A and B are shown apart, each in its own frame.
Chain A
Amino acid sequence: MASAVTLRRLRTGLGLACAAGALTLQPPSLAPLATLATWLARPALMPFAWRAFDEARHHGSIDEQFARAQQVMRLLPTWSEGYLVFAVGFLTARHDPAASADERTDDAWRRLQLALAWLEAARVDAGRREESLLQSLAMLPVAALASEPGLAERLRPHGGAAGMADRYLAQLEARFPAAALREQRTFQLPGVAAALLGNGQRQAALLVLQQAIERSHDVRDRLLAEEWRQRLQEVAAHLAGEPQDLTAVFADRRLEALHPFLR
């Protein structure tokens, strides 16, 4: 009888020790529970969230629209394109007509920071969807600059819009390697070089151009690769101080960002 009680106590003790060990080695996470709760609540909450977002579009401020969009995306985190749609809408919304140029730039910079932070936060548990989010992140600085040209000065210390986009594309290329992605980045590198030139970093710009020339060997369309490499070599040589005929470079709209630094 006594031995049976001892055995039961031993079993209980062992069970508790194993449970404590399991909890220590693999602490429970509330994230799956939160995901399940979101999944269960979504059918009930989505109609209200969409209606509130639509109402904000008609009567609310742009900040409210963005906050409502974030609420929608909290319920629909797998809709990767939604992040881009709402973030670009937030970035390209019109400004107060009475605002000064500085105020407009400040506002555009604030919006860009908020949009980037939102997408960066979404990356944390995005899994495979991170690819789409990185693509979207790469587009945001360019979209913001197109909407508010005054932002160029503010972006310059960060490598310009092209430089910021390139950082996200580099991460994308490292995490999700694909030929199309590699080529996309190859053709965007002149924009990065232009941003560096605008910042007075000539040597860095030449390094980026050299990188673009090397990467052009991987472009699948050989004819296009050859022509692209030729243009880049002309630009690099010109920047290095060698006299070049830049007629073809100035005729190439893909290198438009570099034109002001070649005259």
Chain B
Amino acid sequence: MTKGRGPFGLVLRRCLGLATLPTLLATLLAWWLAPRSEGEPLAAAAAAEPWVALPLLCAAAICTLATAGFWPMFAQGRPGADMVRRLHPRRLQGGGRAIAAALVAQALLTTAVLLPLLPAIGAPAKANAQVTATADRDVLLPGDGSVGELAFTVPAGRTYRAVTIRPLAGAPADGLVPTRLHLHGDDGALSEHEIAVDDSLQVFQLRFAPRPLRHFRLVRNGGTVPLLFPPGSVTVQLDAAHPTWANALLLVLVLLLPSWLALGLGCLCGRAAALPTTATVVAALLFVATVGELGPAASALRRVLRGEWLLGESLFASLTGGGVLRTGLPLLLVGCAAMFVASRVQPWRRR
């Protein structure tokens, strides 16, 4: 077969040809509609998420649906299927390379969208890594003062520079007096500043000189408001900033997961179903995995817009906590399983 005329080259050209203009128009629309500060700054690039998601979703939808509609082996009874079967006698009959081409096309388009759009809507120029601190034992500071402090642990061997807390507040034990907290490390106070909490979900960041850390304590210094620290309410910022473009490239990889799932299951579906069914399956899966937030795509986009480094957590923490890997791995595995089954199943032929 002529170079560039195989499944990969054909599908790549088809996807780019169909998706480039709509994605460009969606990008311009997003740039135009996204809320931007006028005069007084309102540093809330993450609130522009729906508009930034628009061109990304546009590129993903067109690339996946164009692939399902273009490559004949994604559905039964498509013109050219017999010829493709003769030219590609392998198990997936070019389906794997077609999917790879669709993903490459989507990656190229989303990269081209994100790199100029992120600075244009005011996303932070640097992405800061952060990890979630785990409570050693208690997570509740009662308002009566029976527990004086809570201890937390963070991964060792890294340098940290701030602790952010966002506790839940209960009803005060006796008259409303904000609970005052101090931050202590292994060897004394980490920050000289005191915080006073009197309501739920108030966010405080206590900064200190960059230093290695393994344990720290939140010491109660009076007040009557009971405070609860559920998992994820205490995070620690690492002393490491990464460029946003690198974070955007990581995001591009994460955004491929919904498409991979949709095309993998679409490929399996195409072994027995006609194009309308396959297209519906692909579109529905893509919608659920992106807009419906089944998977890490939406949360990863928010984190990039908030200036959070996507690989902040360790591999283990990311797999066991709520990180990108934890939510992305099932999509990856289901897509792989669907492709494997599709490669083992003979296309169903109507008699």
Q: Say if the beta carbon of B81 comes within 8 Å of chain A.
A: no
Q: How far is the CA of A64 from the CA of B302 in the complex (A)?
A: 11
CA distance A55 to B191 in the complex (A): 28
Q: Is B193 within 8 A of A93, CB to CB?
A: no
Q: Kindly report which residue of chain A lies nearest to residue B46, judged by CB atoms.
A: A64
Q: Are B166 and A58 in contact (CB under 8 A)?
A: yes
CA distance A2 to B205 in the complex (A): 86
Flag the segment in A7-15, A25-33, A66-74, A242-250 that touches B: A66-74
For B306, give its contact among A64, A66, A68, A98 (CB under 8 Å): A64
CB-CB under 8 A from B21, the residues of chain A are none
- B206 in the interface, Cβ–Cβ < 8 Å? yes
B246 located at the interface, meaning its Cβ lies under 8 Å from any Cβ of chain A in the complex = no
**With A63-B43, A110-B40 as contacts: A97 and B201 at CB distance below 8 Å:** no
Residues of B within 8 A of A110 (CB): 40
Cβ-defined partner of B42 (8 Å) among A48, A59, A67, A94: A67
Residue from the list A52, A93, A113 in contact with B40, Cβ < 8 A:
A113
Whether A57 is near chain B, meaning CB under 8 Å from some CB there, is yes
Q: Which residues of A contact B47 (CB under 8 A)?
A: 56, 64, 67-68, 70-71
**What is the minimal beta-carbon distance from B230 to any residue of chain A, in angstroms?**
10
Contacts A48-B291, A56-B47, A98-B191 hold; do A63 and B203 have CB atoms under 8 A apart? no
State the CA gap A8–B168 with chains docked (Å): 76
Q: Are B42 and A61 in contact (CB under 8 A)?
A: no
Contact for A97 among B40, B46, B204, B302, CB less than 8 A: B204
A61 touches B306 (CB 8 A): yes
A114 at the interface (CB under 8 A from B): yes
- Number of residues on chain A facing chain B (CB within 8 A): 25
Cβ–Cβ < 8 Å partners of A58 in chain B: 166, 201, 232
A142 CB–B CB distance under 8 Å: no
Among B35, B46, B205, find the residue whose CB has the most chain A CB atoms closer than 10 A. Answer: B46
Complex: chain A residue closest to B299, CB-CB: A55
Please tell me if the beta carbons of A52 and B35 are within 8 angstroms of each other in the complex: no
Please tell me if B207 contacts chain A, counting CB pairs below 8 Å. yes
Q: Are B40 and A98 in contact (CB under 8 A)?
A: no
Give Cα A52–Cα B197 distance, bound, in whole angstroms: 24
Question: Which of A60, A93, A97, A113 has the most chain B CB atoms inside 10 A of its CB?
Answer: A97
Query: In chain B, residues 63-93, which have Cβ atoms closer than 8 Å to a Cβ of chain A?
Result: none
Q: Which residues from chain A contact B43 at a C-beta distance below 8 Å?
A: 61, 63
- Closest B residue to A99 using CB positions: B193
Alpha-carbon separation in the docked complex, A61 to B42 (Å): 11
Across the interface, do B194 and A97 meet the contact criterion of CB distance under 8 Å?
yes
Set of chain A residues within 8 Å of B232, measured between Cβ atoms: 58-59
> What CA separation (Å) do A221 and B46 show in the bound complex?
52
Residues on the A chain within 8 Å of B206, using CB: 97-98
A96 on the B face (CB < 8 A): yes
Is B320 interfacial (CB-CB < 8 Å)?
no
> Is there an interface contact between B201 and A94, defined as CB atoms closer than 8 Å?
no
User: How far is B35's CA from A57's CA once the two chains are assembled, in angstroms?
Assistant: 19
Q: In the complex, A40 Cα to B232 Cα: how many Å?
A: 37
Bound Cα distance from A60 to B302, whole angstroms: 9
Say yes or no for A143: interface residue by CB 8 A criterion. no
Taking each of B194, B195, B232, which has the highest tally of chain A beta carbons within 10 Å of its own beta carbon?
B195
User: In whole angstroms, what is the CA distance A57 to B232 when docked?
Assistant: 13
A48–B54 CA distance with the chains assembled, in angstroms = 14
Considering only CB atoms, which chain A residue lies closest to B293 in the complex? A51
Q: B193, B195, B203, B306: which contacts A62 (Cβ < 8 A)? A: B203
Q: Are B306 and A93 in contact, CB atoms less than 8 angstroms apart?
A: no
B346 at the interface (CB under 8 A from A): no
Partner of B193, one of A48, A60, A97: A97
Verify B204–A61 contact, CB threshold 8 A: no
CB of B347 closer than 8 Å to a CB of A: no
Are A94 and B204 closer than 8 Å at their CB atoms? yes
A7 to B129, CA, bound (A): 78
Chain B residues with CB under 8 A of A61: 43-44, 46, 203, 306
| List of 5 A-B pairs having minimum Cβ-Cβ separation, nearest first | A67-B47, A67-B44, A97-B193, A64-B44, A63-B44
Q: List 11 A-B contacts (CB under 8 A).
A: A52-B49, A56-B46, A59-B232, A60-B44, A61-B46, A61-B203, A67-B44, A93-B203, A97-B195, A98-B205, A98-B207
